[in-house]
Structure 1
């Protein structure tokens, strides 16, 4: 099996911009807001980028969190990110993370207008996406992909691979009241 490239903060930044653009969102005015290394046992880092997310006439300042850790992401991590969103004075937050999300994390995100996205390796994403035969990988497959975090009809956590044109999976969680029509189909 091929070894995945290390997901450095620089690579993570490129990944999140690629994934957001893939779903039809523009990312601009990006600058580093915070960069922290986690102590044991989490081992990893949090890179936060402040910028503008837009689509046609819809435009919002956002904090994009890039959380690299193997442990599951719980409510406390999402609450901490929400406080960083407030501290940055932006309109909303998007938290990408390599760890699985706990159910309480999703509730905390929904209560605070934060979109959650899980970063997974490309092979796992391909095997679970229905794109083709599991175990047979196309040459174009990226090392890492993002999945939107939500709930299925039974209320269980569900991860949905981001695909072209699915910006509403993210925008629906970032919109302020009254924004629904201004961003839809824009």
Structure 2
């Protein structure tokens, strides 16, 4: 299992774990980057990351520049969510794209819906469900389905961000958003 950092804002990559070292690259928000370990040098914490072809670099360890992704396994029987793609260069924030059902004006845009659901135990009918509307003129929604014991990386902190969703990526082409109430276990907790 690889270890990843999700970059939250532009961050400089240093050649060595020293503030005066040469800057070899700048990472953009939303990149997932492999990391090896943490190091402490001269009273500064650093993250050793992997760049292309076994080349290493170092990031200053600042809490607001990256999120340490966690590898997890789904406990629910099924969890459905979505990903989306913009149809144009206009890229509003996620919070402004999806709305409560019945709140979008159908005269001003093409309204479509997406359902998110987790099924903890179908025999006992333990489910959580949310239906959202979105403007289909702006984005295309791609359904996302994970089944029991599917493995993925959790790539955001829903609690800190006060979000209804967790962001996930299985590093095999399935990534997007699931309900925050989705039950999963971090692999280090097993």
Q: TM (normalized to structure 2)?
A: 0.22
Greater relative CO (CA pairs within 8 A, separation 6+): 2
Larger radius of gyration: 2
